[in-house]
Amino acid sequence: MFGNWYLLLVTLFVAEGANIGRFWHITDHHWDPYYSQNATEPMKICPSSYGRHIPDAGPLGDYKCDAPWTLIQSSIHAMKRIYPDPDFILWTGDDTLHTGEQDFYLGKEKVIEIIGNVSGAIRGVFPETPIFPALGNHDYHPKSQIPPGGSDILTAIADMWRPWFSDTAYDTFKREGFYKEYLPGSTQHIMMILNSNFWYDSNKAVNGSGDPGMEFQWMESTLQEAAANSHKVYIAGHVPPGYFEMPSDYRKRWFYNHYNQRFLQIIREHKDVIAGMFFGHHHSDTFRIIKDSAGSVAQCVLIAPGVTPWATTLGGVVNGSNNPGIRLIEYDKDTLHLRDYSQYYLDLAAANQESQTDPSSLWKHEYNATSTYNITDITPQSWEQLASTMRKGCESNGSACPSTFTAYHKMTSVSYDTGACEVRCQKFQLCAITEAETEGYESCMDNWGNHGERMRSSNLAGWIILIASILHTSLSFIANIST
């Protein structure tokens, strides 16, 4: 009780004099234009099902399918209904459906058409709002194979997004898929939109070495210049650094290792000028701590959940679906200090049972970061405090994970019920959250729970888990997966 009063007082105190702004962060819409609720075969209900059993597809979608148009539209209208006049909208990509037969269901024209329709829907509802779109790995054909130096697809997308770009941003985006802009109403604060698809290890148009599109060099010079001018920078993109967090058959890092290291090094070197980092691609609600060389927190990557409820096909993941989510971030417009976010969501199973004419009214508030996690703001220091408390508690004794971890685990699937998160699940989640670098992640995974009392005791269950984990690791290999 005192904690709540204290938080309230802190909030009131900080609110005084702060120039508060809000922006939406939306991501991973993955429109499946083939979605057909009343079809009988899974592939006819949605090709994004990959043939998986679909017992009761609903009007707003299904947990094994990408989003039907009704869901996409309801999410955008829900944004308008909940907070109609944001300072801007950050949109971190992935518009097309997942399919194993992309030449049949997609193709260049179809990909461009889908991006055009989703862009048009956002522009139609928010005609005056500045939008910062980022390119997702699914915003290309073939998916993820985005070459440096531009392409006809990139040109088509740049032309589509032209009304949202300054002249310089348009030119940079058309050439390499990244750009920077001043935040609305500012001549100081910068939104840097990355094309992190250049570092994604599924992208065979690059080879894991060098500096594709000279993007690292561009990042460094932009951050140096911002520091020299005392400006602040938000960094956003689609594919994030670090590892996927769902328990699976793999230890799945997204970037080629060399690019992961270089990216993290740049962030470390310029941590003071970076005021926030926002990514998508996971479809889950999670975050990543980036440490400095001394092991202290340098930055935090906030990963927003997707609009698509689609269950990942990553091998070994059980129940990898999520409810559709949209995120409203609260910040200080003068300093870019990150204050809080409100997560909104659609309980898809429940919403499919409703017969509302306007499904946007079915979107509900899920949680606020500060009150749910008992943190004072959403800066890297606060996330690090949360992450280390969770890791310390869960690692010392899985059954003694703090209540914040239980809350986190519910939110990571956007309140879709994935069952309890036992020791293996805790390890996957917390190693991914706290270790973005390969060496630290591998060590966390290999040595989870092998500290303190647990190792000193002759806990049979602990040994069985350890041996199973070693056997499991030895069978791991890199998956060709799609997210």
Q: Where on the chain is the footprint of Zn ion (CB under 5 A)?
A: 28, 94, 136-137, 281
245/384 with CB nearer Zn ion: 245
Rounded Cα–Cα distance for residues 339 and 14 (Å): 9
24/373 with CB nearer Zn ion: 24
In sequence order, the 6+-apart residues with CB closer than 8 A to the CB of 206 are: 147, 148, 198, 199, 212, 256
- Residue of minimal Cβ distance to Zn ion: 94
28/285 with CB nearer Zn ion: 28
48/137 with CB nearer Zn ion: 137
Rounded Cα–Cα distance for residues 127 and 444 (Å): 47
244/405 with CB nearer Zn ion: 244
User: In the sheet where 179-182 sits, what is the strand order?
Assistant: 179-182, 190-193, 233-236, 274-279, 297-303, 286-291
Please, what is the minimum distance in Å from the beta carbon of residue 134 to Zn ion?
10
Distance between terminal CA atoms of the chain?
A: 41
Please, what is the minimum distance in Å from the beta carbon of residue 284 to Zn ion?
11
143/410 with CB nearer Zn ion: 143
Please, what is the minimum distance in Å from the beta carbon of residue 328 to Zn ion?
20
Which residues are 21's β-sheet partners?
331
Q: Residue 47, SS3? A: helix
Q: What are phi and psi of 35, to 5 degrees?
A: -55, 125
Please, what is the minimum distance in Å from the beta carbon of residue 269 to Zn ion?
27
Please give the sequence-ordered ranges of beta strands (E in DSSP) within 171-211, or none if there are none: 179-182, 190-193
Sign of CA dihedral 217, 218, 223, 225: positive
Please, what is the minimum distance in Å from the beta carbon of residue 306 to Zn ion?
6
DSSP 400: G
Read off the tokens for 314.
């990553």
Residue 450: HSE in the Cβ half-sphere, 13 Å Cα cutoff: 13
Please, what is the minimum distance in Å from the beta carbon of residue 314 to Zn ion?
12
Read off the tokens for 312.
């990942």
343/382 with CB nearer Zn ion: 343
Please, what is the minimum distance in Å from the beta carbon of residue 459 to Zn ion?
40
